[in-house]
Each structure stands twice: as structure tokens, then as C-alpha cells.
Amino acid sequence: MKVPFVDLHAQYQSLKHEMLPAVEKIMETSQFILGKAVEDFEKQFAASHGMKHCIGVGTGTDALHIVLWALNIGSGDEVITVSHTFIATAEAISLTGAKPVFVDIDPETYTMNPALLEKAITPKTKAIIPVHLYGQPAAMADIIAIANRHGIPVVEDACQAHLAQYDGRFVGQFGVAAAFSFYPGKNLGAYGEGGGVTTNDDALAKKIRMLRDHGSEKKYHHAVWGHNYRLDGIQGAVLGVKLPRLNEWTEARRRHAAQYTRLLNGLGDMVLPQESNRARHVYHLFVVQTQHREALQAHLASREVFTGLHYPLPLHLQDAYKDLGYTRGDFPVTERLAERGLSLPMFSELTDEQIAYVVSSIGEFFD
């Protein structure tokens, strides 16, 4: 049996009858950039997370960058985030001219360790970006309490965490704004690039709307200079068709995670993901840890079970961030996870047979 790491085709098959007419409508009306389909999606996405505003942008990276930009963060400033994330989180900081400052993660949730946050704050700290990694929200109550004490805004990187919750509230409701990615493989994926910012702050929303469209509200009148971070009409239509099913897909991911957890418990030296009892984890990824990671990955590939590494080299050890001056040993929890983490196949359409086959292939390896 072949088990892909993600299967975008399976989902498309179930949507085709609705997707093709929705995309055709964009072609027929020529609303290729922004337009009604994007506006409708923005309203629906904001509502799905209990938020007032959603601003559609080109990518999740754009979403992070435009929020920091709108907050006037730039050269000479510092922004605190984690080293254990996709590089886009740190790039968004670098793009403003500010310096990324990393803290280590919690060994159970794999998200920003609030106990280490306060020590990283300096007079130059202008924002904190916790990452809701793998679909698990960071410890938002503690992070917000520390940030408020210092008057520092929190920007949530929710690129992997659509519909995730902490203390019964959706991600995006904690910080001044949140960034979402609609990259095809994310829990809510476009058929191309896509991203979105959510916020309840009217002034911030207005500013971000202007920045994404060359600083203009009225065509060829530019109050400030911005950039082109607009979302395509076709992507708005695709996302609009998919959004009503997101909760169902999320529940399916949660069932698959529960099934993996039941079946993998006690196999070899494997450490399984822990869902915080304050969180609703949406399992963008299902990441296990083992000291035999490379050998297990090769064994699974030989059985046609495809896995991923998220992420094998922490940001503080990347050549791109050499100039920050970090060295191996600075973030031990991050470094250990980078060496031992293995992402198992995870997508909504995964079948019980596929899960059973992945588990029996892992069992075979540990025998």
C-alpha cells in the first residue's frame, strides 16, 4: 500500500463539482485580483475565527511581514520568536530590518516556552511572535500576560493552525493580529499561493488593507507607499469553496491523530505528540520523536510510506542567520527535536487502512 505524506488530489476529487464552476465564474467576470470572491472569503474567514477583520494577502510570509510593517517595526528593533519554525517567521522580521531573537520551545508542546520569554525581552523588543506549530497553539495566556506587562504587541503565527483553540478561544483572538497561510498543503489550502491577516483592531486592519495595495484606498492615490500583497480572485474562490468544510476536515485530522496515538503507544522509543489540556490541536502535522529517525524514515520509504522532517535544521543554525551569532547548544530542546522529529502522513482523507499500514510498518521496524 502506498501512503503519501499529503494527498491533495483526494480532496480535490470530493470538491470538483463545486470548485470548477466557482473558478469559472472568476474567469467569466475577470475579477482576477481581489474582487468579490476575495471579499466574501475574507468575511467568512474572519467569522470562522470569531474575528472582525480578515485581509487576504499573497502568502503567509506576506501576512507576517505586513503586520510587522503596519506596527512600524524596523531597523534597530528586536522581535522575539522561536528557532523551531519554518524560516518565514524569521524572514518576516528580517524583511522589516529588525533582528530576530530566538527562545527555546517547551519539550511537550513544541511551542514557545513562556518561562524563557521574559529573559529575552530588552528595551529594543517591539513584538513577540509565538508560532502555533504543527497545529498546536502556543501557551497564549502566559505569553500574553508577559507581553502585557512589558507593553509589547503579540503577533500570532497561525500559518499551521486554522481553527485551533486555546482556553476555548480560536487562535487569532489573543494577539494584536494573526497571520495565516493558505499554501496548498496547509490545513486550509488554496490552489496556488495565499495568505491572510486577522485582527479586531479597526485602525490596524485599515492600514494593512492599504499597505497590501500600494498604500492606496483610491486607485492611483497613495497615502503611504506600500507593496503589492494582494490575493488572487481565483484563490479567493477556491478558499471560499473549501472554508465551509474546514471544521469537518479538522475533526478528521483529530480522529487520525487519536488513532495514531492509540496504535503507536509504547512502540520502540517513540515519543508521541502531546495535546495540551488547554488546547484544541488541529494536527497540521503529526510529529513523533525517535533516536532512530533516519533509519525509520528509510524503512518507511521502502514500504511506500512517505514522511517529512519539520524541521531538520533550526533557524539559529542556518547559514542565513549566521550573523545573529548563535551556536549549537543555545536551544537544546529545539536542537533535540530537529534531530529526532519525524512527521508521519497526515491529511483529512487518510483512511483507517492507511493508518493501520503506517503503524504496522513502524512496528516491523522496531521488531
Ligand X SMILES: *Cc1c(COP(=O)(O)O)cnc(C)c1O
Residue 334 within binding range of ligand X, rule CB under 6 A: no
Q: Phi/psi at 234 (nearest 5 deg)?
A: -65, -40
**Count residues contacting ligand X (CB under 6 A)?**
14
Q: What is the DSSP letter of 102?
A: E
Residue 195 within binding range of ligand X, rule CB under 6 A: yes
Residue 59 within binding range of ligand X, rule CB under 6 A: yes
> What DSSP element (H or E) covers 12?
helix 8-29
CB of 61 to ligand X, least distance (A): 3
CB of 196 to ligand X, least distance (A): 10
Q: Are 180 and 196 in contact (CB under 8 A)?
A: yes
Q: Are 320 and 87 in contact (CB under 8 A)?
A: yes
CB of 275 to ligand X, least distance (A): 18
Q: Are 307 and 5 in contact (CB under 8 A)?
A: yes
Q: Single out the residue of 217, 214, 195 nearest to residue 206, CA to CA.
A: 217
Q: Single out the residue of 55, 19, 4 nearest to residue 191, CA to CA.
A: 19
CB of 64 to ligand X, least distance (A): 6
Residue 6 within binding range of ligand X, rule CB under 6 A: no
Decide whether 86 or 357 has the Cβ nearer to ligand X. 86
Which residue from 6, 71, 131, 342 is in contact with ligand X, where contact means CB under 6 A?
A: 131
Q: What grid cell was written down for 318? A: 542556518
Q: Are 26 and 234 in contact (CB under 8 A)?
A: yes
Decide whether 94 or 216 has the Cβ nearer to ligand X. 94
Residue 157 within binding range of ligand X, rule CB under 6 A: yes
CB of 88 to ligand X, least distance (A): 4
Which residue from 121, 139, 159, 231 is in contact with ligand X, where contact means CB under 6 A?
A: 159
Burial (0-12, 13-18, 19+ Cβ within 10 Å), 259: middle
Residue 156 within binding range of ligand X, rule CB under 6 A: no
Angle of CA points 209, 210, 216, to nearest 5°: 140
Decide whether 131 or 164 has the Cβ nearer to ligand X. 131
Site for ligand X in 85-104 (CB under 6 A): 85-86, 88-89
Q: Which residues bind ligand X (CB under 6 A)?
A: 59-61, 85-86, 88-89, 131, 157, 159-160, 181, 183, 195
